[in-house]
Amino acid sequence: MTQPALSEAFHALQSTSPLVQCLTNKVVAEITANVLLAVGAAPAMCDTPEESEGFAEVASGVLINAGTPSAEQYQGMRAAIKGASKSNTPWVLDPVAVGGLTHRTRFCQEIVQRHPTAIRGNASEISALAGMGSGGRGVDATDEVTSALDVARHLAQAHNCVVAVSGPQDLIVSADRITWLTSGDPLMQRLIGTGCSLGAVCAAYLGAAADQKISAHDAVLAAHAHLGAAGSHAAASSSGPGSFHAAWIDALYNLTDQDIFHAIEIQEEHHNA
Model confidence over 168-199: pLDDT tens digits?
899 999 999 999 999 999 999 999 999 999 99
166 among the known binding-site residues?
yes
Q: How far apart are CA 234 and CA 228, in angstroms?
A: 10
Q: For residue 86, what pLDDT is reported?
A: 97
114 among the known binding-site residues?
no
Q: For residue 144, what pLDDT is reported?
A: 83
Q: For residue 269, what pLDDT is reported?
A: 84
Q: For residue 261, what pLDDT is reported?
A: 97
Judged against a pLDDT cut of 80, whether residue 105 lies above it is answered with: yes
Q: For residue 142, what pLDDT is reported?
A: 53
Judged against a pLDDT cut of 80, whether residue 143 lies above it is answered with: no
Q: For residue 83, what pLDDT is reported?
A: 98
Model confidence over 45-78: pLDDT tens digits?
999 999 999 999 999 999 999 999 899 999 999 9
- Name which of 36-40, 260-264, 267-271 the model is least confident about: 267-271
177 among the known binding-site residues?
no
pLDDT band at 133 (very low <50, low <70, confident <90, very high): low
Q: How far apart are CA 142 and CA 131, in angstroms?
A: 16
Model confidence over 199-255: pLDDT tens digits?
999 999 999 999 888 999 999 999 999 999 999 999 999 999 999 999 999 999 999
Q: How far apart are CA 2 and CA 229, in angstroms?
A: 16
- Burial state string for 211-246 with b = 16 or more CB within 10 A and e = fewer than 16: eeebbbbbbbbbbbbbbbbbbbbbbeebeeeeebbe
What is the homologous superfamily of the domain 3-268 according to CATH? Ribokinase (3.40.1190.20)
Q: Are 91 and 37 in contact (CB under 8 A)?
A: no
104 among the known binding-site residues?
no
- Burial state string for 98-132 with b = 16 or more CB within 10 A and e = fewer than 16: bbbbeebbebbeebbeeebbbbbbbbbbbbbbbee
3-state SS, the chain, equals: CCHHHHHHHHHHHHHHCCEEEEECCCCCHHHHHHHHHHHCCEEECCCCHHHHHHHHHHCCEEEEECCCCCHHHHHHHHHHHHHHHHHCCCEEEECCCECCEHHHHHHHHHHHHHCCCEEEEEHHHHHHHCCCCCCCECCECCCCHHHHHHHHHHHHHHHCCEEEEECCCEEEECCCEEEEEECCCHHHHHCCCHHHHHHHHHHHHHHHHCCCCCCHHHHHHHHHHHHHHHHHHHHCCCCCHHHHHHHHHHHHHHCCHHHHHHCCEEEEEECCC
Average pLDDT of the residues of the chain: 93
Q: Who wins on pLDDT, 116 or 212?
A: 116
pLDDT band at 137 (very low <50, low <70, confident <90, very high): very low
The predicted model gives 100-120 an average pLDDT of: 94
Judged against a pLDDT cut of 80, whether residue 99 lies above it is answered with: yes
